[in-house]
Amino acid sequence: MALDIKIPAVGESISEVTISKWNKKDGETVQMDEVLCELESDKATFELNAPAAGVLHIVVQEGETIAIDTLIARIDEANGQPKTSTPTAQTTTPAEEVKPAAATGQTVEMKVPTVGESITEVTIGTWHKNDGDQVQLNDLLCEIESDKATFELTAEQAGTLRIVATQGTTLPIGGLICKIEVTAGGAQPVSQATATPSQPVPATQTAPSGDKTYATGTPSPAANKILAEKGVKPEDVQGTGVDGRITKNDAVNAQKPVAANNAQPSVSKPAEKTSAPKQPVVSGERSDRREKMTSLRKTVARRLVAVKNETAMLTTFNEVDMKPIMDLRAKYKDKFKEKHSVGLGFMSFFTKACCVALQEWPAVNAMIDGDEIVYHQYADISIAVSSPRGLVVPIIRNAEQMSFAEIEAEIVRLAGKAKENKLTIDDMTGGTFTITNGGIFGSMLSTPIINAPQTAILGMHNIVERPVVVDGQIVIRPIMYLALSYDHRIIDGREAVSFLVRVKQLLEDPTRLLLEV
């Protein structure tokens, strides 16, 4: 029996994908769940696995861009069995595969749950169960990744697992991930066993020999679009794909024979030696390396561009003398760690200073919701943290109510989860103000981009000893530049500058933080 393989739905906004690479060859025997090919969309790259064992017949070649639900290959299940077993074994193997599907019990569909107000799609990560496995209630099935966090999907019912979305597939919220068939009896194996050996040799087997099929002279969706734009009829193009299918390259080249006669004289002109001296002479090896963008990187890029386009972002700067804080840390860091079992860092000082300043300048702690401004009466501080998957921004909630030790402990906890890729959606949802520290990487000055829907972000930088004037004397002090990027739509320049000056005052005299003055 020939099993059609079509492009699955990979996202609500994705209408076509490109076959970047076939990992198996036409006519090759494949096993269930083997990776057949890699598919690329404008949002992600994912793998397409074999839904069954058999002989692969490729319909669409590498490099073609095709629409969702388009047939790209077939797997001849009948031809895949005789190579490994006798007819007696054939009646056993299909029976094991079909028995769960023939069950008369309830089928539970497991779909992508709502995982956050700003998340519209997720990517299927590692499957911990195989297709056809028996699973129990609350068994871990797979990991689901979003651009913010990774979380686990557990079984909602006990039964037989039927995987719909393979590893690497990108699904919208509500997309079908898998089905669980509640265990039930059935006598399907007998009829299936008799049906399997009775199948004739499918037509796909003869396709490679050059016989005409339904695909002969039929353009792929991408090729059809190109031909339409050029005004070329499909019947005037010779297809080079499987079964004579017209590929994207065929469509691109279809125009060349028409223009070849007139263009030949002009084609030879660039080859003249008159242009050769203009080319620079470069010695040594010159090579490029290409890598696919991750889903997280694509989402970050899209959102950063959106912030630049949708907000009136402006940045104001100031500098802070870090000597008072550094002296305070040097004096009490050992006792602090001994008492609280956590180190005393700069982030707790900056977090506390920002919380005080946010209460005095509430517009910096606000957000725009439609035609309204929402003023937050609390300070949920987002802390930018570097992780193996990229930059993530977990949140310290109600930071204005926390002590220095509590803030430091929470930063350590969130940073540890980020490094282990264990941050949850709750850890990263919300936030009213963001602090990012580019100074740990050596940045002297930068203009951080707002973390929407927030309206302001504070950028810390490296500490450098510089000559400054104190009480009429030139002295050397450890100076840090601060940058506050803000949305000018709701934050005026006076408020932004005053906020940053207040943060500077609190940091240069940390006693104010303790006395709340």
Cross-strand pairs, 321: 479
Considering only CA atoms, which of 48, 53, 51 is closest in space to residue 21?
A: 48
83 CB-near residues (< 8 Å, 6+ apart): 29
Active-site positions read 488, 492
DSSP H or E segment with residue 299 = helix 295-310
90 and 130 part of one domain: no
247 and 373 part of one domain: no
User: Tell me, what CATH number does 386's domain have?
Assistant: 3.30.559.10
The answer to whether residue 345 is domain-embedded is yes
The residue ranking higher by pLDDT, 337 or 66, is 337
The answer to whether residue 300 is domain-embedded is no
364 and 386 part of one domain: yes
**413: alpha, beta or left, given left = phi > 0 and alpha = psi -120 to 50?**
alpha
Q: At 365, is the pLDDT very low, low, confident or very high (cuts 50, 70, 90)?
A: very high
Q: Which of 72-76, 86-90, 121-125, 404-408 tops mean pLDDT?
A: 404-408
The answer to whether residue 269 is domain-embedded is no
pLDDT above 90 as % of the chain? 32
Mean pLDDT throughout 84-93?
39
Is residue 426 a contact partner of residue 397, using CB atoms and an 8 Å limit? no
167 and 201 part of one domain: no
Is residue 177 a contact partner of residue 124, using CB atoms and an 8 Å limit? yes
Q: At 43, is the pLDDT very low, low, confident or very high (cuts 50, 70, 90)?
A: low
User: Tell me, what CATH number does 225's domain have?
Assistant: 4.10.320.10
| 260 pLDDT above the threshold of 80 | no
Mean pLDDT throughout 116-120?
71
The answer to whether residue 443 is domain-embedded is yes
3-state secondary structure of 214: coil
Q: What is the mean pLDDT of the chain?
A: 80
Using CA atoms, how far residue 110 sits from 115, 140, 162, 182, 411, in Å, is: 14, 13, 10, 13, 35
112 and 6 part of one domain: no
174 and 241 part of one domain: no
Using CA atoms, how far residue 208 sits from 59, 82, 98, 240, 244, in Å, is: 10, 21, 30, 12, 9
Cross-strand pairs, 199: none
The answer to whether residue 228 is domain-embedded is yes
| 160 pLDDT above the threshold of 70 | yes
| 117 pLDDT above the threshold of 80 | no
478 and 381 part of one domain: yes
Using CA atoms, how far residue 78 sits from 39, 94, 470, in Å, is: 27, 10, 87
108 and 27 part of one domain: no
The residue ranking higher by pLDDT, 286 or 44, is 286
For 116, the token pair is: 């956050």
The answer to whether residue 479 is domain-embedded is yes
| 198 pLDDT above the threshold of 70 | no
368 and 244 part of one domain: no
Q: Is 0.75 surpassed by the pTM of this model?
A: no
For 76, the token pair is: 């001849």
Poorest-pLDDT segment among 13-27, 250-264, 471-485 = 250-264
Supply the pLDDT for residue 207.
Answer: 43
The answer to whether residue 151 is domain-embedded is yes
Please say which residue of 218, 242, 258 terminates a domain: 258
10 and 54 part of one domain: yes
3-state secondary structure of 150: strand
| 36 pLDDT above the threshold of 50 | yes
Q: Which residues of 483-507 are buried (b: 16+ CB within 10 A; e: fewer)?
A: bbbbbeebbeeebbebbbebbbebb
Instruction: Report the Cα–Cα distance between both ends of the chain, in Å, rounded.
Output: 80
| 7 pLDDT above the threshold of 90 | no
152 and 11 part of one domain: no
User: Tell me, what CATH number does 198's domain have?
Assistant: 2.40.50.100
The answer to whether residue 459 is domain-embedded is yes
Total domain count for the chain? Answer: 4
pLDDT per residue over 310-332, tens digit each?
899 999 999 999 999 999 999 99
454 and 324 part of one domain: yes
Q: Range of 73's domain?
A: 1-96+188-205
Distance CA 503, CA 262 (A): 71
